[in-house]
Structure 1
Amino acid sequence: MDNTFSVYKIDDRSLIAFIKREIHNLALQLGFTPHRAAETDIIIAELTSNLIKYADGGDLLYRAHYNGSHNEIEIYCLDKGIGIENVTKIMNDGYSTSNTLGQGLGAIKRLSNDFQIYSMRGWGTVQYIKICDKADFSVIHSENELNLSAISVNYPGERVCGDGYYIKYSKKGFQIFCGDGLGHGAKANEAVQQAIRAFKQCTENDPASILRYVHEHAKKSRGLVATIACADYTTETWNICGIGNINTRIYNGLDNKTYTPYNGIIGHNIPRTLNNTVVPYQKHQIIIMHSDGLRTRWNLAELTSIIKQSPGIIASALYKDNVRGTDDATILVGKIF
């Protein structure tokens, strides 16, 4: 299954039935029982109708995903409405801020396998929902030191994404690849997928050497930009190297640093000299990497208590505020535990 999210702008009530039917059919294709698909309908209906009633519209992102033992549908619901002042109160079944009867966010939480919400008055709301084919499946969060989530969406109108990411794990640590093929569409997708295949095959341990290896294996492609961040448990260091405009930041609390990549195009022309940036690897850090489909002038400090949230909520909050809508877009957020 593709790891990109489909995006719908929900700005008219007439869209609700169409989107509900599309996700219902997707659920059945994934092997959901008719009863579980009907529960999915309730979730989608509540999310989309709330966007129209309370936020004057918003975005619904969704994808199908196979997670090793089960099929699941992941959904992000994003809006720039007035926000929710008391999330705990509104989570109760049947609660409504209007005079209409509603299932409420409590029903969404009850019917989903994982539900997360972040809201700020005057800013809006982001919600994450995971619906598994088995209603009683308990979501177990990663036991790795890295807890990571990513959102990747196609350029509007394209069937494939020109961005890509991949994470390799080992006993010594992990390596993160985030890349963006030049332009968008099939040729950009081919370039980034060639790079990911090379990244998977490469046995080097430092980002600069890995980028040189990827460069050699991407010469027949359109070309791409990419950054690789490698965490080493033994030396307790990050090694980071990038070519082209992938934005990379590491947060320690609210203190952060952006790591500047080299100029060049992987597969065409890269600098003769590539050096890794070496920084301490510490618990509770947050690493954020994204393509130029998102604006770079953002600051987590502007979002109250956002660093306490899950990587998926952080990624969706930054996506909501900064997606350009004129290119493929990918944002990857990892928290170190």
Structure 2
Amino acid sequence: MEVTGTSEVFGLEHDADVGNVRRRFATLAQAAGLDESRTGDAALIATEASTNVLKHAQHGGALIAPITRGGSSGVALVAWDRGPGMNVEACLRDGMSTAGTAGAGLGAISRLASRWDAYSRRGQGTVVTATVFAHEPVSPARFAVGGVCVPYPGMTRSGDAWAMHVEGDVTSVIVVDGLGHGDGAAEAAAAVIASFRTRPLDAPGDILMRADQAARPTRGAGATVARVDGREQTCVVAGVGNVQPWLIGESQRQLVTQHGTLGQATPKLRDERYPFPAGTTLVIHSDGLKSRWNLGAHPGLLACAPYTIAATLWRDFGRGRDDAIVVVLREGP
């Protein structure tokens, strides 16, 4: 279970941008408690992933963020482009590179990262994700969860936020969108997250009604809480405002939420129960993602790690003019 903080956004257009990503990623790694050796690994991962973007696609971008998993702290990286794409498995073999080089980039990332993943389609580009931890995290829980949280362009604080709680086979996730942007939105989202953490085992609707009180001194927020029970194979959801939950299995289905704003005008919230059979994926996002998205042009994406799925959805469907958050949950490590 990996909870990423707000991402820092970097463009990758020139060689100097690679150095910017490397230095900042190393700084975050040191702040997360990584020793000199693992900080060096993180710096090399950032260099290889960023350089690959310039080699294969000439331009793209990177997201870097702090991350926690099972009590361990670390750093997370996304490197993305919209270039020609690559054969990931072939690029891992010695001597194979779509840039005509030795193909060491992905190989180095795969050896040094605590976890790494990649999604690529011919003509649609590539998304590479990697995490580096100070200590190896504890064994994974029943469900894997990952997300990206990106601030409004030009800002460092995001008005979107998320958190989760694991209790055996049950995982609860909350995704919040504070009204507006900047400090005021971030404070509203933080109040809702803090309220969730006090009693995360309550029913989702009750969590949001309590969060409504916590958000009263702030400008308000929208939020969705989803609780997935692996033993019962159910997903219970309550939501208010513009944070949209989806279930993806044999089809893609947007779930029911209610109009209103936590801290301002919140109706009596009700829990909605849905089946969550094996192979189902839950996606929750703010309105920083376009409302009409689908995975029809992304075959194989759901087999990737949740962090990679979230990053790819942000790359391809983000509005680019708002805070944006995408959180993905599915069964598996």
After TM superposition, the score normalised by the length of structure 1 is: 0.88
Q: Aligned partners of 1:62, 1:101: CA distance in 2, in Å?
A: 26
Alignment of 1:230-309 (within 5 A): 230-232=227-229, 236-253=233-250, 255-271=251-267, 273-309=268-304
Summarize deviations over 1:60-112 as a string: whole Å, max 9, x none: 1112334456442211111111101x222211245333455563321221222
CA contact (8 A) 1:282 1:336 kept: no
TM alignment of 1:1-337, pairs within 5 A: 3-67=5-69, 70-84=72-86, 86-100=87-101, 103-133=104-134, 137=136, 142-144=140-142, 146-171=143-168, 173-202=170-199, 205-232=202-229, 236-253=233-250, 255-271=251-267, 273-336=268-331
1 CA distance for matches of 2:53 and 2:12? 7
Q: Following the alignment from structure 1 to structure 2, what is the Cα–Cα distance between the partners of residues 244 and 173?
A: 25
Q: How many residues align?
A: 330
Q: 1:14 to 1:240 in 2, by over 3 A?
A: same
Structure 2 alignment gaps of length 5 or more: none
Alignment check: 8 A CA contact 1:92 1:104 kept: no
Is the 8 Å Cα contact of residues 4 and 68 (structure 2) preserved in structure 1?
Answer: no
- Provide the C-alpha distance between the structure 2 equivalents of 1:39 and 1:220, rounded to a whole number of angstroms: 44
Q: CA deviation at 1:299?
A: 1.1
Q: Secondary structure at the match of 1:228?
A: strand
Whether the 8 Å contact between 1:95 and 1:104 is mirrored in structure 2 is no
Q: Which digits, 9 at most, give the CA deviation of each residue in 1:239-266, with x for residues without a partner?
A: 222111111101123x121013211111
Q: Report which of the two structures shows the higher radius of gyration computed on alpha carbons.
A: 1
Taking the aligned partners of 1:309 and 1:55, their CA distance within structure 2 comes to 22
Query: In structure 1, what is the Cα distance between the partners aligned to 2:33 and 2:200?
Result: 38
Q: Report the aligned-residue RMSD.
A: 2.5
Mapped contact 1:180–1:224 kept (Cα < 8 A): yes
Cα shift at 1:219? 1.0
Distance 1:303 1:13 in 2: 30
Secondary structure of 2:128 counterpart: strand
Identical residues among aligned pairs (%): 29
> What is the CA–CA distance in structure 1 between the aligned matches of 2:35 and 2:231, rounded to whole Å?
47
1:178 and 1:221 map into 2 onto residues whose CA distance is 17
1:333–1:12 distance in 2 versus 1, CA, 3 Å:
same
CA deviation after TM superposition for structure 1 residue 215, in Å? 1.0
Cα shift at 1:280? 1.6
1:134-159 deviation digits (Å, cap 9, x = unpaired): 6xx5x665222x21111112222223
CA distance in 2, matches of 1:189, 1:264: 18
Question: What is the letter of the counterpart of residue 331 of structure 2?
Answer: I
Distance 1:233 1:87 in 2: 32
Distance apart, 1:229 and its partner CA: 1.6
Could you tell me how far apart the structure 2 residues matched to 1:234 and 1:65 are? 28
Amino acid at match of 2:39: A
Residues of 2 paired with 1:229 and 1:302: CA distance? 27
Residues in 1 aligned to 2:243 and 2:46: alpha-carbon distance in whole angstroms: 33
Select between 226-235 and 325-334 the one with higher mean Cα deviation: 226-235
Under a length normalisation based on structure 2, what TM-score does the superposition of the two structures give? 0.89
